[in-house]
Chain A
């Protein structure tokens, strides 16, 4: 193969791989703590750049009202929990304020979109998942699939079927070993690397991160230690939404963004997470890169089959996992 083409495909694959790796990390994180396979994460990933695009067009996107509305429902559910409803009400107001601010100051649209999308994850956990504590993986999966359709429908209602193009944070191309690589792609890979280091430090060094791990491995033990498993779930959803939204905002300038891209993105992240058996963070990253590179090369050799080839990867991985896997189990 022409080394230039090989280089192109590889860099393209690595850039997409960074995106899938982040989505896979978020899915593994959520699954570890809550046992939910978060299918709607793909939608939320796309909500962020679509929100940014609308703000840049001077419009207030529906995600602002969705996010504020979910926070208000959460406040209603927690109305007897001391000051919590007040803070949630203020957060809802804050989301609307941030929306208006992002609409009038284009330089803030990126940050505003991130902040607007962020509450959707934890609020969804509080409203839809928390009322079913300890439900089976299958029940959560059905719930997640249902939410995926709801959020996809909302995406169509908010943003319409068209594609949006977003400006790069770091425009232009850099020459890497004689190969032109979009700077935005380098930015995405760097951001992914930094996020991974931060997550590692959070889970390994901070007591809060350790508490989240504790809630993931032993729910009863966690509660005995005074760790709220519900709160751990909300924090896991918050982190996942943050990671996903940031990934979406960074990747959108490289390709177009439209509401229906979320599902396929979520699914590819899920394939990567399955490679990791839904338990291992390093393997999730490796899985993401594998999916990205495989997709890139198959789009060159057999572009009509590129999705099929990526999903066909699931078969040998599942077969291998089924004979050699360490299943995630509660410790005693």
Chain B
């Protein structure tokens, strides 16, 4: 589904992503974890074409270089941005419908059906469908950002820290929704600082530090890896002390 080789992102002289390889297979949930500033967001932005990069990004057999972000979205590569980037002065429903804009332009049918499915998944969005996006709480805005991405019918959903800045209860709710998406077979590349929740959900994982991948493997193996336990899973477990 996605194969990345030698991906490099620079901001002027500063290297944010320093030649990483990663791949995501159809139906997989892959977690990309790492500390602040490791280059996780830069990686996702490069995949979508929102920052310039070097290296090869192959998506469904196609090399993406030269494609505009919106052309990638039209191919089903959809990003939920760390900062969400909702249309604050528009209603929830307008935000959702705009998520399907590429499909609408292709003359695709079934956008209203998709809207109903998103509402079924996020009843809170259905209740607030005529409310302006800017007036919603952080958790609701995150749900709206995910809902807007789902309206594009993603083949590969890129999620950038969906739990960032949210209360624990809401984080639980968001991860519940992601688990639902996984159960339906959605392919997801999930960037998270909440490594515990991410590795519980994911099939495989990568650990990114200072722009390089330092560890990778099945999520279960990463959960037990002493380095991961010490640095990313908070309190050291009994087995490491």
Contacts and interface: CB of A to CB of B under 8 A. Distances in A.
B101 A207 contact: yes
Interface in B59-117: 68-70, 73-74, 78-81, 83-90, 94, 97-99, 101-105
Given A213-B90, A217-B89, A331-B134, A225 B101 contact: yes
A83 to B, nearest CB: 15
A223 B69 contact: yes
Interface string B42-70: 00000010100000000000000000111
A331 B50 contact: no
A230 B69 CA distance: 11
Q: What 9 pairs across the A-B complex have the smallest Cβ distances?
A: A226-B102, A221-B85, A226-B73, A223-B69, A331-B88, A228-B70, A225-B98, A226-B70, A220-B85
Given A210-B97, A211-B101, A224 B79 contact: yes
Contacts of B24: none
A331 B87 contact: yes
Contacts, number: 79
Nearest to A330: B85
B36 to A, nearest CB: 19
B152 to A, nearest CB: 6
B115 to A, nearest CB: 12
B86 A226 contact: no
Contacts of A222: 98
21 contacts: A207-B101, A210-B97, A211-B98, A211-B101, A214-B87, A217-B89, A218-B85, A218-B86, A218-B88, A223-B50, A223-B73, A224-B48, A224-B73, A224-B79, A224-B149, A225-B99, A225-B152, A226-B101, A228-B68, A228-B70, A332-B84
Interface of B: 48, 50, 68-70, 73-74, 78-81, 83-90, 94, 97-99, 101-105, 134, 148-149, 152
Contacts of A314: none
Nearest to A228: B70
Given A214-B87, A228-B68, A220 B81 contact: yes
Nearest to B152: A226
Given A207-B98, A218-B88, A224-B78, 7 more contacts: A217-B89, A218-B87, A220-B81, A226-B102, A228-B70, A331-B85, A331-B89
A227 interface: yes
A309 to B, nearest CB: 36
B69 A224 contact: yes
Contacts of A221: 81, 85-87
A217 B87 contact: yes
B151 to A, nearest CB: 8
Nearest to B91: A210
Contacts of B73: 223-226
B10 to A, nearest CB: 18
A220 B148 CA distance: 14
B101 A332 contact: no
Contacts of B101: 207, 211, 225-227
Contacts of B79: 224
Nearest to B134: A331
Interface string A216-247: 01101111111111100000000000000000
Contacts of B105: 226
Contacts of B104: 207
A225 to B, nearest CB: 5
Given A220-B81, A331-B88, A225 B148 contact: yes
Contact of B98 (A214, A220, A228, A332): A214
A235 to B, nearest CB: 12
Which of A223, A225, A332 has the most chain B CB atoms closer than 10 A to its own CB? Answer: A225
